[in-house]
Amino acid sequence: MSRIFNFSAGPATLPLPVLEQVQAELLDWQGSGMGVMEMSHRDKDFTSIAQACERDLREVVGIPSHYKVLFMQGGATAQFAVVPQNLLRGKASADFVVTGDWGKKAQKEAARLGGARVVASSEAQKFTTIPDRASWSLDPDAAYVHITSNETIHGVEFPDAPEVGSVPLVSDMSSSFASRPFDVSRYGLIYAGAQKNIGPAGLTLVIVREDLIGQVLPGTFAIHDYKVMADNDSMLNTPPTFPWYVCGLVFQWMKREGGLAAIGERNARKAALLYDYLDAQDFYNNPVARPYRSQMNVPFTLAAPELDAEFLKGSKAAGLIGLKGHRLLGGMRASIYNAMPEAGVAALVEFMKEFVRTKG
C-alpha cells in the first residue's frame, strides 16, 4: 500500500488509523457477522454506534446539554435553506456577514425564504479579509446573524466568534469544525458538512440551541424540521449509516490525539510552517490579511502562472495531490485539515522550495 499526501478541499484525507479500523471491521463489525453498511439503522448495534458517535462528539467538542446534535443530509448547501426555514421564527429577516463565496451562496438561498440582509461584505476586497466588526450594521431584531467561520475557497477564517449581542449567531463551520478549541455556547447554531474535517461525504452535522427550534416556516418538510429530527434521534428516515459510523471513529481518534487543544496546536504549527515560508520569499503569494488567514485552507499563487501546470505535475510526482486551486481563484490551494500530518505540510514546503530553485 502506498499513501499519498492529499491536500484536497473535500472530500478530503482521513486519519489512517480510522481507515484501518474501517477496513478491519468492514466484513464483520465486532462479532456481529456483518458490516456496518449492511445493518438496519433500527438495529441495536447501529443504535449503539450512533449514540457513541454523539457522546464522543459532545465530549471532544464540549457541547452543552441544552444543545441538540442532529445528523442530517444534503450537505451545508441544504442548510443554506434549512437554517432560515427553522430559525426565522416569524422575524422579518436575518443578517449575513459575507466573507467569501459560501457565505454569498448562503445569503442568496436565505433570501428566497425571507429577508436576508448583507450587513457586511468583503467582496470589494475580493474576499481577502473580514470587515472590521465596528462597521457591521447589525439589526437588533434580526432572527440571527450568519457567518462562515472559514471560507474554504478564499482561505479566510474568523479567529473567534464575533460578538453579536443577544441575536443568535449561526455559523457554517464546514471546513473548520473541530480544528481547534471553540466555545459552542457563543453560537445559536453551527452546521458543517462532514467531508472536510469530520468524515466521509453524506452526513451534515447541526448543533443547535434547544430553545431555537420548533417554529418552522409554513410548508417546511418534516425531514428539514430540526424539532422533528431531534424528536426522532435524527432517524426520521434512513440516515447515512456508514458515514455516521466513520465520523464516530474520527471523534474517537480525536480523543486519542489529545482532544481539540492538542489538535489545534498541531494545526497551528502546520499553518505556521506553510505561511512562514510563503512570507519568506517572492515566488509564491497568499493574498489574505494576516489576522484572518485560514488554518485549514491555504490558497497561493505562483509569480509565473504559466508554471501552474508544471507545479501540479511535479507535486503529483512527489506524492502531493489535490493542490489545484478552486476554479474561481485559479492558482493553488493546500487544504491542511486535522487529518493532514505535519510531515505532509513539511513535504509540501520542501517541494515548493525545490520547484522555485529549479524552475522559478
Q: Are 331 and 305 in contact (CB under 8 A)?
A: yes
Cell numbers at 246, concatenated: 466513520
Is 172 part of the annotated catalytic residue set?
Answer: yes
Nearer of residues 35 and 74 to ligand PLP, judged by Cβ: 74
Q: How many Å apart are CA 169 and CA 178, to the nearest integer?
A: 17
List the catalytic residue out of 56, 95, 102, 225: 102
Backbone dihedral region of 145: left (phi > 0), alpha (psi from -120 to 50 degrees) or beta? beta
The helix (run of H) or strand (run of E) holding residue 145 is strand 145-148
Q: How many Å apart are CA 347 and CA 258, to the nearest integer?
A: 24
CB count in 10 Å sphere of residue 282: 8
- The least CB distance from residue 164 to ligand PLP, in Å, is 19
Q: Are 47 and 241 in contact (CB under 8 A)?
A: no
Q: How many Å apart are CA 16 and CA 25, to the nearest integer?
A: 14
- The least CB distance from residue 73 to ligand PLP, in Å, is 10
- The least CB distance from residue 81 to ligand PLP, in Å, is 11
List the catalytic residue out of 68, 196, 270, 324: 196
Nearer of residues 148 and 286 to ligand PLP, judged by Cβ: 148
Determine the distance from the C-alpha atom of residue 115 to the mean position of all C-alpha atoms in its chain, rounded to a whole number: 26
Distances (CA, A) of 248 to 54, 199, 313, 318: 8, 9, 35, 32
Nearer of residues 302 and 332 to ligand PLP, judged by Cβ: 332
SS3 of 322, please? Answer: coil
Nearer of residues 69 and 352 to ligand PLP, judged by Cβ: 69
The helix (run of H) or strand (run of E) holding residue 189 is strand 189-193
Q: How many Å apart are CA 227 and CA 6, to the nearest integer?
A: 38
Nearer of residues 174 and 234 to ligand PLP, judged by Cβ: 174
Is 244 part of the annotated catalytic residue set?
Answer: no
Q: How many Å apart are CA 50 and CA 2, to the nearest integer?
A: 32
Nearer of residues 117 and 146 to ligand PLP, judged by Cβ: 146
Task: Select the residue whose beta carbon is closest to ligand PLP and give its number.
Answer: 75
- The least CB distance from residue 309 to ligand PLP, in Å, is 25
List the catalytic residue out of 56, 95, 101, 172: 172
Using omega within 30 degrees of 0 as the cis cutoff, is the peptide bond preceding 239 cis? no
- The least CB distance from residue 199 to ligand PLP, in Å, is 12
- The least CB distance from residue 277 to ligand PLP, in Å, is 24
Angle between helices 101-111 and 75-87 (to 10 degrees): 40
Q: Are 202 and 73 in contact (CB under 8 A)?
A: yes
Nearer of residues 74 and 115 to ligand PLP, judged by Cβ: 74
Cell numbers at 199, concatenated: 468524515
Interface with ligand PLP (CB under 6 A): 10, 75-77, 102, 148, 152, 172, 174-175, 193, 196
Handedness of CA 19, 21, 27, 33 (dihedral sign): negative
Q: How many Å apart are CA 263 and CA 207, to the nearest integer?
A: 21
- The least CB distance from residue 14 to ligand PLP, in Å, is 16
Is 102 part of the annotated catalytic residue set?
Answer: yes
List active site positions.
102, 172, 196
